[in-house]
Amino acid sequence: MITILQIVLFTVLCGVAGFLAFKGYRRVYRNIMLGMKANYSDNPSQRLNNMLLVALGQKKMFKNVIPAILHVFIYVGFVITQIELIEIFIDGFTGSHRIIYHAVENIPFLKGFYVFTISFIEVASLFVLFATLAFLTRRWILKVPRLNKPELKGWPIKDATIILLAELYLLTCIFSMNAGDMALHNSEYGFLVSGWLVPLFSGMSNTTIYIVEKLGWWGHMIGVLAFLVYLPYSKHLHILLAFPNTYFGRLTPKGYIANMPEITKEIKSMMNPEPAPATDTPVEAIKFGARDVFDLTWKNLLDAYTCTECGRCSAACPANLTGKKLSPRKIMMDTRDRLEDVGRSIEANNGIWKEDGKSLIENGYISVEELRACTTCNACVEECPVMISPLEIIVQLRRNLVMEESNAPNEWQGMFANMENNGAPWQFSQQDRLNWEKA
């Protein structure tokens, strides 16, 4: 009877979590697809290579060795503990207990492999424990500057801490589960790390140990499901999106900023006015650059959801280093926040977007002052471990400011005029271009 109840409860929990998670991920996908079309179907092998090196292999993380190693501990630990989850799920759906162990317990080689695997997971978990405590220390005690910037105030820093505490919670569950099980069965499983913990149960009744073991098992399982549901609302989504984001990452030199073909058409007809054909889209109908998330490409929006707010970009940004308001991380966070706000508004209006009179520029999102501070130096792009480009968004927003609103500092207006009139950013005559010859 109890077993059937357990199976039902387990199935219901999985079903509810699965449904909530599905809704969460579908929401993220819908929001990303609000962006403009862009084609990334070129060079699949090079893209795959980038994904394997940068996302799977963490290549860009290793520019910063200590956090990279700690991050690898958590990353590897996270992936490896998924193996134990397979058994937890089979046990949950069938009401069995350690079904894989019992299936192989009489085959020495396979039994040995099982024990090795679980012990390996336990050792990996110890590394996770170490790295998690180190990360909490970096964030809250050492106060590493990039993890304590103003744009992280409020929800972002809570989100980061929740994730780290959730790691500690999951580790506690894994070890209570395994060590409890060992204590109940005279350590017959022979798991390495939980074997060391068995003495902690001495003097406890078997019922108490049984409860600890079950709390660990259910706690772990519920923790995993909660994590799955939480993920699409968290910066931690990078653990999944790092893969597509590096696959669709830019392959062109960092200095390249794509030209706008719609403008080429305009200028060619200006330079060569004879045919002057009636164009299908009048210039007024074309929007230059980006004012809102809809004007960015889906890749820019994927960038925003992939960002895990590590702040390597802002720590390298020359404007940010010298006290300017610009922070490339904030560009990504604002883009995602605006996109989330737009998404919520769409949900509130039965799936239809109603103009809210706001945009990504100003309105509490990205300010003009931030946009103007960028030197386009690509330090942020270079630093990002998951190939995000804050610069692409900055340039698109600048284009909108300058070409749609003539919103540029006076010096820039003068520079544009000089470039148009005398082909140089300064007011020199083109006739004097050879003056360098006269020493």
Partner 1 sequence: MADMAASGQTPEVLFWVGCAGSFDQRAQKVTRSFVKILNHLNIKFAVLGKEESCTGDPAKRAGNEFVFQMLALQNIEVLNGYSVKKIVTTCPHCFNILKNEYPSLGGNYEVLHHSTFLQQLIDAGKIKITDTTTFKGKKITYHDSCYLGRANEVYEAPRKVLEELDAELIEMKSCRTKGLCCGAGGAQMFKEDEKGNKRINIERVEQALETNAQIVASACPFCNTMLTDGVKTKDKLNVKVFDIAELLAAGQGLETVDLQ
Contact 177, 220 (CB under 8 A): yes
Among residues 6, 96, 117, 378, which is the contact residue for partner 1, using CB under 8 A? 378
Nearest to partner 1 of 27, 254 (CB atom): 254
Contact status: 409 vs partner 1 (CB under 8 A): yes
Written as six digits, the tokens of 43 are 């060079």
Contact status: 139 vs partner 1 (CB under 8 A): no
Round the CA-based radius of gyration of the chain to a whole number and report it.
28
Nearest to partner 1 of 274, 355 (CB atom): 274
Contact segment (CB under 8 A) with partner 1 among 45-53, 99-107, 124-132, 367-375 equals 367-375
Count CA within 13 A, CB hemisphere, residue 257.
15
Query: With contacts defined by CB under 8 A, how many residues of the chain interact with partner 1?
Result: 67
In sequence order, which residues have a C-beta less than 8 Å from that of residue 310 and are 6 or more positions away? 146, 147, 329, 385
First to last CA, the chain: 99
Site for partner 1 in 309-328 (CB under 8 A): 316, 318-319, 321-326
Smallest distance, partner 1 to C-beta of residue 438, A = 9
Smallest distance, partner 1 to C-beta of residue 381, A = 8
CA atoms of 45 and 39, how far apart (whole Å):
16
Nearest to partner 1 of 106, 272 (CB atom): 272
Smallest distance, partner 1 to C-beta of residue 291, A = 12
Contact status: 271 vs partner 1 (CB under 8 A): yes
Contact status: 43 vs partner 1 (CB under 8 A): no
Among residues 108, 150, 154, 255, which is the contact residue for partner 1, using CB under 8 A? 255
Nearest to partner 1 of 235, 372 (CB atom): 372
Site for partner 1 in 410-439 (CB under 8 A): 411-412, 415-416, 419-420, 423-426, 428, 430-437, 439
Contact segment (CB under 8 A) with partner 1 among 168-176, 180-188, 239-247, 253-261 equals 253-261
Smallest distance, partner 1 to C-beta of residue 245, A = 20
Contact segment (CB under 8 A) with partner 1 among 72-80, 227-235, 239-247, 394-402 equals 394-402
Q: Nearest to residue 249, comparing CAs of 30, 26, 42?
A: 42
Per-residue contact flags (x/-) with partner 1 for residues 170 to 199, judged by CB under 8 A = ------------------------------
Contact 182, 195 (CB under 8 A): yes
Strand partners, 122: none
Contact segment (CB under 8 A) with partner 1 among 66-74, 90-98, 336-344, 376-384 equals 376-384
Contact 27, 232 (CB under 8 A): yes
Among residues 58, 306, 389, 400, which is the contact residue for partner 1, using CB under 8 A? 400
Per-residue contact flags (x/-) with partner 1 for residues 59 to 98, judged by CB under 8 A = ----x-----------------------------------
Contact status: 286 vs partner 1 (CB under 8 A): no
C-beta atoms surrounding 350 within 10 Å? 6
Smallest distance, partner 1 to C-beta of residue 319, A = 7
Smallest distance, partner 1 to C-beta of residue 417, A = 9
Among residues 152, 239, 374, 386, which is the contact residue for partner 1, using CB under 8 A? 374
Per-residue contact flags (x/-) with partner 1 for residues 323 to 352, judged by CB under 8 A = xxxx--------------------------
Contact status: 369 vs partner 1 (CB under 8 A): yes
Contact status: 375 vs partner 1 (CB under 8 A): yes
Nearest to partner 1 of 347, 382 (CB atom): 382
Contact status: 281 vs partner 1 (CB under 8 A): no
Written as six digits, the tokens of 403 are 């070409």
Written as six digits, the tokens of 192 are 């390495």
CA atoms of 316 and 300, how far apart (whole Å):
20
- Binding positions for partner 1, rule: CB under 8 A: 63, 252-257, 259-260, 263-264, 266-268, 270-271, 288-289, 316, 318-319, 321-326, 369, 372-379, 381-382, 395, 398-403, 408-409, 411-412, 415-416, 419-420, 423-426, 428, 430-437, 439
